[in-house]
Amino acid sequence: MDFFEAVHRRRSVRKFKRAKIPEEDITKIMEAGRAAPTDATLHLWSAVWIRDDTKKAEISRLINQPHVDEGSDFFVFVADLYRLRELLKFRNREIAKNKISLLLFAAIDAALAAENMALAATALGYGSCFIGAVQNAVAELIDMLKLPPLTYPLFGLVIGIPNEDPPQRPRLPLDMLFHKEEYRPYSDIQLDQAYQIMGKITRSGDWLRLLERYAGAEGYFNERGQVLVELLRKTGFT
Ligand SMILES: Cc1cc2nc3c(=O)[nH]c(=O)nc-3n(C[C@H](O)[C@H](O)[C@H](O)COP(=O)(O)O)c2cc1C
């Protein structure tokens, strides 16, 4: 498949046939992840590959994402400073005391690898969906996946044989996402237009309800932020 075709054909797929992708194809998909750029060659990410259906079903229930159970393979992407610390320790060196910037770049490294994998899966005719809902069960996943200190689950990627062909979902217009030469604040017309365009992605047609549910004053991300601060302390990041 042509590169641009893969980019524009990729959708979040949430219905999968209950069948396994051949391991050779999963290896190709993982190789695409491995080829992604990584800041300063640090490889600040790793992923736990879950192919076992029983384990996958358990995680699916835990995070309340039925498509994780239906899919063939699930990857939990992890910010991984543990491997870096081991590498440094092996040569009698210490890892940075302040790890916040490393965490930021770990999330970037992981996202780049995962998007390469999602595109590779599309090019091979498979479906995928990113799963931020792993954030709802970070402590449980740390136990279940035996994640060592200085690792932190970021998001998941489920890959499978699609059992639906979802329509292309809307995006904000190019001129709201890219600012030529310098940042330009948004006009009321642009903001109103954004609600009209993005309303199509929701059942109610009201994008505001979605924005509020996730990112409003009392939204999910507000709650998650509080848990994150506490768990980053426990895992050794702060
Ligand atoms: C970081 C991230 C986390 C996401 N988390 C979830 C999730 O937990 N469950 C889910 O069904 N979709 C999830 N999605 C998929 C988005 O909802 C989807 O990308 C968006 O609605 C646009 O649709 P499209 O991917 O089909 O273009 C996530 C996407 C990203 C990038």
For the segment 106-117, what is each residue's pLDDT rounded down to a tens digit? 999 999 999 999
Q: Is residue 55 part of a domain?
A: yes
Q: Is residue 211 part of a domain?
A: no
Atom 20 (ligand 1): residue with closest C-alpha?
12
Q: Is residue 82 part of a domain?
A: yes
Q: Is residue 213 part of a domain?
A: no
The verdict on the CB of residue 129 being under 6 Å from ligand 1 is: yes
Q: Is residue 222 part of a domain?
A: no
Mean pLDDT over 84-108 rounds to 98
Domain count for the chain, please give it: 1
For the segment 24-76, what is each residue's pLDDT rounded down to a tens digit? 999 999 999 999 999 999 999 999 999 999 999 999 999 999 999 999 999 99
Cα 28 from chain centroid? 19
Contacts of range 193-199, beta carbons closer than 8 Å, 24 or more positions apart? 197/170, 197/171, 197/172, 197/173, 198/170, 198/172
C-alpha–C-alpha distance, residues 86 and 80, integer Å: 11
User: What is the β-pairing status of strands 73-80 and 151-162?
Assistant: antiparallel
C-alpha–C-alpha distance, residues 227 and 220, integer Å: 11
The verdict on the CB of residue 132 being under 6 Å from ligand 1 is: yes
Extended beta strands in 132-235, E state: 151-162
Q: Is residue 70 part of a domain?
A: yes
Q: Is residue 33 part of a domain?
A: yes
Residue 25 belongs to domain spanning: 3-168
Instruction: Output the CA 90–ligand 1 centroid distance in Å.
Output: 39
Instruction: Output the CA 129–ligand 1 centroid distance in Å.
Output: 6
Q: Is residue 189 part of a domain?
A: no
For the segment 198-207, what is each residue's pLDDT rounded down to a tens digit? 999 898 999 9
Band (191; pLDDT cuts 50, 70, 90): very high
pLDDT of 95: 98
Residue 1 pLDDT exceeds 90:
no
C-alpha–C-alpha distance, residues 60 and 50, integer Å: 11
Name 190's Cβ contacts closer than 8 Å, sequence gap at least 6: 173, 175, 176
CATH at 162: 3.40.109.10
The verdict on the CB of residue 12 being under 6 Å from ligand 1 is: yes
